[in-house]
Chain A
Amino acid sequence: MENLQSLLHGFTIAITVPHLTLMVVGVLLGILVGVLPGLGAPNGVSLLLPLTFGMQPVSAIILLSSMYWGALFGGSVTSILFNIPGEPSSVATTFDGYPMARDGRPTTALATAFGSAAFGALVGVILITFLASWVAQVALAFGPPEYFAVYFLAFASFIGMGGAAPIKTLVALAIGFAIAAIGIDTVSGSVRLTMGIDELVKGVSFVVAVMGLFGIGELLIAVEEEFHARAVSSRVDWKEVFRALGRLPHHGVALLRSAAIGCWMGITPGGPTAASFMSYGIAKRFSRNGSRFGTGEAEGIVAPETADHAAGTSALLPMLSLGIPGSATAAVMMGGLMIWGLNPGPMLFVDQKDFVWGLIASMYVGNIVAVVLVLLTVPVFAALMRIPFAVIAPLIVIICVVGAYSVSNSYLDIVLMLGFGVFGYLFKKLHYPLAPLVLAIVIGDKAEDAFRQAMLMSKGSLGIFFANRLVTTLVLAGIALLLLPLALQIVRLLRKTDEAAHEKVRII
């Protein structure tokens, strides 16, 4: 077990007082950027980067990666408390996290989210420790057809799970694809769907759409219903935090399945966002409590959070071993690596053993530090729910406005965000599902690019999606997931049990 020995050596590097201090600082800053919408891990990491130039590479990467962990945790906070996802990957957390918090259980929701996130991250790191070389090979096997197949799989696992009218779902999905296409087309370089507005060339950012659709839309629904958050007990209830953590093992199957989905999507470049959506969709389909998803089910928080963090962690592996950054944050960190005089890629594992294993060991320690710190902050965040709605409503509007602006310093984004808010309200009111719309905005153009590149490779033949074992398996799994609800419905019709039809399904 050469890996294990190297890891132990890594721990001796990571567990020193200066490095632990760096982790605490990094995690706290990360939580801050994660909580503030519009700022994210990429912002935080790029701002800290100049500070690290004088540091040892190991110390520098520990600081930056700790910030990344903190931001991943912090992103879930606003999703759960205010229905405003700070990052694309925490959208799926809003589906059950927000109803649970609104129901007067913000502490439980936050603790469940952080606990399962920590589990996902841990599985991701273990995977990195033991399968580094194997994983690198898998990532290399991915070309455009495989990319498309992975996105297709994510869509397939998510479509048709809500209780919404099928045509409304279809319209919502298509609108999402169209919004994703706005701006410069990455394959041909031509400008699409700007409707004569030059500023739209940069495209419509996901953050802008989500803040309007979820944040402002939900706010409008809330005032209309004269909503008052159910009174949260005023004292800090530490027992509730531990009770929520203690209940996590009951969701063992969901935890393991979501971690597996997350790791798989992190290594294959599907990414954390696709992973969390897919994990939520699959959990809803296979869970005993599936019909109650969307009303504040703990499992509906466990599934996306675990997958998100498992994917976020394992996505760092391609960066280290292949020099392919899996996310914007990883790209900034890779820039850092080069500035510190290291070359990301296969040789890193040979030349810079101390650096690589110090980093991997710091992932274990850093995640533990992050989860402890973030659990300590739960009561603080839960207390936000006690602020009267009349005060919190304008503050949420301001946060959404500032968040939309800071994405690309554009006033147009603020106006668009407000427009999305009206649409979000209208859609929610009329039971158009928002989840497929958002999923299409986030990964729609990537899926399209992958499809078109695959078509270029095969000169227009769809056969390329069945050209090798990997892509065929992915495509078939996707088709199976698409057809599954249909098949189940036929079975149900044959059995003539109409109970299901009377169940109240929340549309997400």
Chain B
Amino acid sequence: MISRRALEITAAALTGIFGVAVIVSSIDNGIGWSSAGVDAGTFPFLTGVIIVLGSLYNLGQGALGRGTLAIVRTAVTSSELRRLAGLFVPAAIFVAVIPLVGMYLASAGYVFAVLAFPRRQSVLRALVIAAATPLALYVVFERMFQVSLPHGALATAFGF
């Protein structure tokens, strides 16, 4: 279970860190006015400052439990969290293996895994959809529009 407060604080912290990174990085580009007009870093610097100040405000509001959503205490229940993970974890694994096995194998495996293992669909149906997906991708992207999708290190090793 994740409380609303924890989630608000996390979000504000993340945006704040992003803001600091923007400020630090834009100071390198130079801020202010030079012979070449407004310096490249000026606008990012200002947005960074706004992000940091806003995040601090949101952090305070979140920590004190104030703001528009103060009545809601729980943000994500444990069963909701399980469902979220059920979607996101396989998706993240899918993305992670793309450089290794390529888009086609990875997408077939991904579709098969999420359809067949939770027993939502019959194995046969899962197999059919898993085979059809990369095929459709290949025909539309590689053949029709000549957009090459990643083939992966494995395919390179086999000389494709």
Contact = CB atoms under 8 A, between A and B. Distances in A.
Interface string B54-65: 110110010000
B86 A165 contact: no
Given A401-B98, A402-B103, 9 more contacts: A47-B145, A174-B50, A391-B115, A394-B90, A394-B110, A397-B91, A401-B95, A405-B103, A427-B11
A223 B37 contact: no
Identify the interface centre among B54, B84, B149: most chain A CB within 10 Å of its CB. Answer: B54
B133 to A, nearest CB: 6
A411 B37 contact: no
A398 B50 contact: no
Given A170-B54, A405-B149, A448 B98 contact: no
Contacts of A402: 103, 137, 141, 149
Given A165-B67, A223-B87, A430 B40 contact: no
B145 A429 contact: no
Contacts of A223: 83-84, 86-87
Interface in B59-79: 61, 67-69, 75-76
A379 B18 CA distance: 44
Contacts of A224: 76, 80, 83-84
A177 interface: yes
Contacts of B147: 38-39, 43, 406, 409
A397 B91 CA distance: 7
Interface string B91-124: 1101100110001000100110011001011000
Contact of B51 (A171, A190, A394, A422): A171
A237 B89 CA distance: 39
Contacts of A193: 21-22, 25-26, 44
A433 to B, nearest CB: 12
Contact of B145 (A33, A393, A418, A432): A33
Contact of B94 (A175, A185, A397): A397
A13 interface: no
A414 interface: yes
A468 interface: no
Interface residues of A, dominant DSSP: helix
Interface string B123-154: 00000010001000100110001111110000
B50 A171 contact: yes
Interface string A170-192: 11001101100100010110101
A7 interface: no
Contacts of B114: 390, 393-394
A243 interface: no
A47 B146 contact: yes
Contact of A170 (B50, B69, B80): B50
A168 interface: yes
A177 B140 CA distance: 34
A185 B133 CA distance: 39
Contact of A181 (B8, B38, B47, B140): B47
A171 B67 CA distance: 15
Nearest to A221: B84
Interface stretch (A76-84, A254-262, A452-460, A479-487): A452-460
Given A190-B40, A223-B86, A394-B115, A167 B54 contact: yes
A395 B133 contact: yes
B44 A192 contact: yes
A46 B148 CA distance: 16
Contact of B26 (A192, A394, A397, A429): A192
A195 B19 CA distance: 12
A198 interface: no
Contact of A390 (B10, B25, B94, B115): B115
Nearest to B88: A220
A415 interface: yes
B158 interface: no
Interface string A413-443: 0110010001101110111100000000000
A219 interface: yes
A398 B111 contact: yes
Nearest to B49: A174
A418 B91 contact: yes
Contacts of B58: 167-168, 171
Given A33-B145, A175-B18, A401-B95, A192 B41 contact: yes
Contacts of A219: 87
A369 interface: no
Given A190-B29, A394-B114, A405 B40 contact: no
A36 interface: yes
A187 B43 CA distance: 12
A430 to B, nearest CB: 5
Contacts of B90: 394
B75 A220 contact: no
Contact of A393 (B37, B87, B92, B141): B87
Contacts of A451: 38
B3 to A, nearest CB: 12
Contacts of A498: none
B33 interface: yes
A398 B48 CA distance: 33
Contacts of B48: 174, 178
